[in-house]
Chains A and B, each alone.
Chain A
Amino acid sequence: MELRTVEKLLQKYFEAETSIAEENILREYFASTDVAPHLEHYRPLFGYFETEANKTFEKDLPLKPRKRNVVGWISVAASVVLLSGLFFITNNQSAPADELGTYEDPEVAFRETQKALNMLSNTVNVGVSGVEYLNEYEQSKQKVFKDNLK
């Protein structure tokens, strides 16, 4: 390439008046082996631009942030359903425990209460009759001690 054209282009280049095509001519010229000695110091500039243009982005792109969010929300929804389900079940079970078997008619209520108390006293009396033996034992013990004291 003619040296004069290159010099002219360079001048235009530094005034930022070159077109992209003209800049490519300069790039080509400085990539070649026969660069004029007095232009040698521009060589790294164009060489640098050339190598810079070849750098690439190698990392992966994390493009699924939304999808992951959906999964997250589903699990939140599931746990809410589970918790509310458990809550209702326990509530329903504790409801019958609140009914105490009340009676409307006072006479019926009285009879039922008596029955219940009878049942209670029967079982208590079983224990009492057992204690009778102890009484017997106590009396004979007293006798023995009294005789000894005399």
Chain B
Amino acid sequence: MNQKEFINTITPFKDRVFRIAKRLLVSTEEAEDATQEVMVRLWNSRKKLNKYSSVEALAVTITKNYCLDQLKSKRATEMRIVHSNYSDGQAGVDKQAEDKDSWSWVEKIMDDLPEQQKLIIQMRDVEQYDFEEIAKVMDMNETAVRVALSRARKTIRQELIKKHSYGIKNS
């Protein structure tokens, strides 16, 4: 596999790898580094890539493991990331600003989910993988994936309702 073929192989999913890394690591820079690392690892084992039925599934698995390792070592050194890098689009219409505001709520809620649920909801709701693929990457069976996904979605719903009615209802 030469460089051109390799690029063609990874182009369809490199953004996905980046987004999955960002979901776990939060910071954009770290997610970029992680993506580079994963791609370099794939490149180094390019001779063996033909043996895998799906390079994308392999890439996502490597990403998952790499990011979890990163998080583990970070926690060991007691470092916490403060996320302040919500990208600034064009400033503009009120509605847009409002939307962005509520999106950042969702993002914050998702940051508080356990890693497994974060990954599953990212793969399902953002990347639209089917359950079979998710189960393979997560090394779980499909029922367990569904249960975790349902739990994650319900948590988000609960938090959203709390935020939405905050200051309106006396609860």
Interface-located stretch among B48-56, B74-82, B155-163: B155-163
B88 within 8 A of A: no
CA distance A13 to B154 in the complex (A): 9
Interface centre among A17, A45, A66 (most CB of B within 10 A): A45
A47 within 8 A of B: yes
A-B pairs under 8 A by CB, number: 85
| Cβ contact of A44, chosen from B14, B105, B130, B146, cutoff 8 A | B105
Residues of B within 8 A of A47 (CB): 99, 102-103
Q: What total of chain A residues lie within 8 Å of the partner, measured CB to CB?
A: 30
B154, chain A: closest CB distance, angstroms? 5
Asked if residues B147 and A16 are in contact (CB atoms below 8 Å), the reply is yes
**What secondary structure prevails in chain B residues at the interface with A?**
helix
Interface-located stretch among A51-59, A129-137, A142-150: A51-59
Asked if residues A53 and B40 are in contact (CB atoms below 8 Å), the reply is no
| Cβ contact of B40, chosen from A13, A20, A65, cutoff 8 A | A65
Chain A residues within 8 Å of B, Cβ to Cβ: 13-17, 20, 23-24, 40-45, 47-49, 51-53, 55-59, 61-63, 65-66
